[in-house]
Structure 1
Amino acid sequence: MAAQAPEMEVPKGAELLQAQADLWRHTLYYLTSMGLRCAVKLGIPTAIHNLGGVSSLADLAAALSIPASKQPFLGRLMRALVTSGVFANGGKNDSGAELFGLNPLSRILVDGVVADEHHSQTSFVLAGTSRHYMEAALGMADWFKKDATGPVPSVFEDVHSASLFDESTAALDPELDALVTDGLAAHDNLGIGTIIRECHDLFKGLESLTDCCGGDGTTARAITKAHPHIKCTVLDLPKVIDKTSADGIVNYVGGDLFHTVPKAQAVMLKLVLHHWSDDDCVKILTQCKNAIPSREEGGKVIVIDIVVEPSLGPVMFEAQTLMDILMLVFTRGRQRSESDWHVLFTKAGFSDYKIVKRLGARGVIEVYK
């Protein structure tokens, strides 16, 4: 005889209607992402910037060459994106027309601006909302049902038979590969000025630093500009270094951080380790440990990465957990809590660490031999 299903308390009245509204929101969140993608593809943030930072719908439509027949639909898109916090409500002009403005989020989506600390995030948006990303996310349920022996592939690998950040992505789709590369660089370089200002003592007394996976040296050059006495070396894959022109400021080394890390007083891993499994992180950290002197000699590994922490508030915690799902779907890595970081540092043979500062979703961690 089949077991009787347990009784369930069914929500009623206002609670039932609120549950339905919440269900709409969660089911349709992807439309916010698609609306954001649409805004980036149309160039709306850049257009509003060029119009002085605030614009009426008519002026925005004219700047974007939107046909008159589509203006009402553009208004509906902008209303949704203002509601979700992508753009700001700019009030009304003298004619009573609604105005749309930029806020901190949409300002980092403006292209063509040369300014300190500005790294346009449009490639991050376009990669994250691409067809290949969406298809991978749709494969999560099937992925969970499959057993795996050995290292567990990412959902992206399972769906596309390709891994992000290597040659297989380019073979899958060259345009996606370019977007992912540009988006990763913009994402990683954003906020380095804030880190340098807020954690000035982080680099105090250092004579040399190796920036692992430092790309074209944007972060290393910013450090050298603020601390001219530090000799910075960038380690990255040969395919990255070969595309980088020598600038006489930073030393570039092509290599693999799993096998060797150029010796320096400090080694920096900025938004690197969350791409890798725990076992791989221990291997990377061990190489970093071998590259630095003792704590007494000023040696340290600087880890700048997300430290998952509910006390940061619901919005920031949600962003961190979404980034963790991003890692689950597209890499073999994960986002980590402080206790997770502690385990990794201990396994890699480090004696101590301290979180120097929490900056938004990220933590700045000094790790010692």
Structure 2
Amino acid sequence: MKNQGNVWNIICGSVDSSVLKCTIELGILDTIYNSSKPMTLSSLASTSPSLSTLKTENLYRLLRYLSHMNLIAINSVEGSDEDTFSLTGISELLLSSQERSLKDWVLAIDEEHSINGWHELSDYCLSADDAPTPFVKLHGKTIWELAEEVPEINGLINNAMACDTKMVMPAFVQGCGSILNGVKKLVDIGGGIGAAMSYVVKAYPGIQCMAFDLPHVVAAAPEIPGVEMVGGNMFEFIPPADALLLKFMLHNWNDDECIKLLKRCKETIPADHGKVIIIEMVLYQDEDDDYLTRARLNLDLDMMLSSGGKERTNDEWRILLEEAGFKKIEFIPIFAIQSVIVAYP
């Protein structure tokens, strides 16, 4: 029976992400958190306008499923027929009020632009090397081209990337500060709306910080004191600096594109003291942590379908960087799903 249950859970795997998005959109977790105490079903429904329109039975069924996702705890109350509902530690990573929240990443997942591509997985695995990704097949353009044309998509992507930044940059600043010692200018290549640089400039105000990304991305960026925003195409030009940051960006590209970009980075930084700082996942670095390994493998397949990129192992990163001409490579684990890779010319 256990094997049957495991297979059924795999078959229904997409239910988790759909329920999670619904939960965020309805504000269930935020409502319970804001109450500062466990809530009954009736109080939960009456507190939030969005929840008051739901059938009580449907709300309960959602809560019951969330308890099996370990996002909600159902508590029996002595002397009462009504259970109460409270948050678990995991659900704190999905609250609007928490700085390190993955809420915006959840909202970036939608049927039209993300989920439908998974239905093309079989065909794409059987296709030629130069076949368009399922995303391009469905939309007729890359995700970056679509974001340039559709402000809503651009906003979803920017918010999701900023969401990831809030998780990883505190860990980077705390665990890798020595890497930035002596750096006078740092440019974040593919730096989005400057979120990553906001952490660096706060911790190291003496470093001249720049975020470099496509013009339509930079145009949507807020003003961040101490961070210069510059628009351009990284495959055509990279602003000179003694250190370059590539955060959660190289996994969007195949090996040939990464090597081309990394060679350009190597040409840009000083040969005697320059460095390229990469923040990316390293597959199988925590073989005893099945949750992290599976999360990284999930994102590897997502990259394959959406952009044609990939997540890489330690050896694959080393081969890629050596092919681009870097002589010294350093891997540094941090308290995040990503690791830090430092490459020296």
TM-score normalised to the size of structure 1?
0.85
- CA deviations on 1:261-289 (whole Å, 9 max, x unpaired) are 11112100010100111111111111211
Of 220, 224, 229 in structure 2, the residue corresponding to residue 243 of structure 1 is 220
1:137 aligns with 2:123: no
> Is there any run of 5+ residues in structure 1 with no aligned partner, and where?
1-16
Structure 1 vs Structure 2 CA RMSD? 2.3
Q: Which residue of 2 aligns with 1:198?
A: 175
Q: Which residue of 1 aligns with 2:44?
A: 60
Of 43, 49, 55 in structure 1, the residue corresponding to residue 33 of structure 2 is 49
Q: Which residue of 2 aligns with 1:4?
A: none
1:353 aligns with 2:329: yes
Of 58, 67, 75 in structure 2, the residue corresponding to residue 91 of structure 1 is 75
Q: Are residues 79 and 303 of structure 1, via their aligned partners in 2, closer, same or farther at CA, if it must alter by over 3 Å?
A: same
1:174 deviation in Å?
A: 5.5
**What are the equivalent positions in structure 2 for 1:323-362 lying under 5 Å apart?**
323-362=299-338
Q: Are residues 189 and 332 of structure 1, via their aligned partners in 2, closer, same or farther at CA, if it must alter by over 3 Å?
A: farther
Of 176, 191, 197 in structure 2, the residue corresponding to residue 214 of structure 1 is 191
**What are the equivalent positions in structure 2 for 1:23-172 lying under 5 Å apart?**
23-52=7-36, 54-65=38-49, 66-67=51-52, 70-85=55-70, 87-89=71-73, 91-93=75-77, 96=80, 97-111=82-96, 113=97, 118-148=99-129, 151-166=130-145, 168-169=146-147
- CA deviations on 1:112-137 (whole Å, 9 max, x unpaired) are x3x6xx15433321222433322211
Separation of aligned partners in 2, 1:46 and 1:353 = 43
Higher mean C-alpha deviation, range 68-77 or range 259-268: 68-77
1:180 deviation in Å?
A: 3.0
> Is there any run of 5+ residues in structure 2 with no aligned partner, and where?
none
Native 8 Å contact 1:139 1:159 kept in 2? no
Separation of aligned partners in 1, 2:138 and 2:201 = 42
1:39 deviation in Å?
A: 0.3
**What are the equivalent positions in structure 2 for 1:254-273 lying under 5 Å apart?**
254-273=231-250
Larger Cα Rg: Structure 1 or Structure 2?
1
Residue 10 of structure 2 aligns with an amino acid whose one-letter code is H
Residue 297 of structure 2 aligns with an amino acid whose one-letter code is T
Separation of aligned partners in 1, 2:106 and 2:224 = 30
**DSSP 3-state at the match of 2:330:** strand
Residue 211 of structure 2 aligns with an amino acid whose one-letter code is V
Of 277, 281, 294 in structure 1, the residue corresponding to residue 254 of structure 2 is 277
Q: Are residues 265 and 157 of structure 1, via their aligned partners in 2, closer, same or farther at CA, if it must alter by over 3 Å?
A: same
Of 298, 302, 311 in structure 1, the residue corresponding to residue 277 of structure 2 is 302
TM-score normalised to the size of structure 2?
0.90
Separation of aligned partners in 1, 2:258 and 2:39 = 47
Native 8 Å contact 1:162 1:169 kept in 2? no
1:31 deviation in Å?
A: 1.2
Residue 140 of structure 1 aligns with an amino acid whose one-letter code is L
1:319 aligns with 2:295: yes
Separation of aligned partners in 1, 2:322 and 2:204 = 31
1:293 aligns with 2:278: no
Separation of aligned partners in 2, 1:147 and 1:313 = 34
Residue 160 of structure 1 aligns with an amino acid whose one-letter code is H
**DSSP 3-state at the match of 1:108:** helix
Would you say how many aligned residue pairs link Structure 1 and Structure 2?
Answer: 342
Higher mean C-alpha deviation, range 129-138 or range 329-338: 129-138
Native 8 Å contact 2:279 2:338 kept in 1? yes
Native 8 Å contact 1:235 1:254 kept in 2? yes
1:69 deviation in Å?
A: 7.3
Native 8 Å contact 1:316 1:360 kept in 2? no
Separation of aligned partners in 1, 2:169 and 2:151 = 29
1:234 aligns with 2:211: yes
Q: Percent of counterpart pairs with the same letter? A: 27
Separation of aligned partners in 2, 1:355 and 1:108 = 27
Q: Are residues 77 and 352 of structure 1, via their aligned partners in 2, closer, same or farther at CA, if it must alter by over 3 Å?
A: same
Separation of aligned partners in 2, 1:46 and 1:69 = 17
Q: Are residues 365 and 329 of structure 1, via their aligned partners in 2, closer, same or farther at CA, if it must alter by over 3 Å?
A: same
- CA deviations on 1:301-359 (whole Å, 9 max, x unpaired) are 10000001151411111111101111111111000000110111011100010112243
